[in-house]
Amino acid sequence: MAADRATVNVSASLLPDSMKTSIGGTTVYDLNDIGNNNKWIYVRMQTDGTTARDLVTEDGVQYLNETITYTDTIPLTVEADDDVVFIAIKNNGTTDGSTASTANLYVGLTGGDLAANSGTIVIEPNEVWFARLRGEALADINAASSSGDLSYEVFAILDDGGV
Give residue 26's pLDDT band: very low, low, confident or very high (50, 70, 90). very high
Q: How much is the pTM?
A: 0.88
* Domains, the chain, ordered by start: 32-159 (2.60.120)
pLDDT at 132: 92
Tally: H helices and E strands in the chain: 0, 10
Contacts of 128 (CB under 8 A, 6+ apart): 88, 89, 90, 91
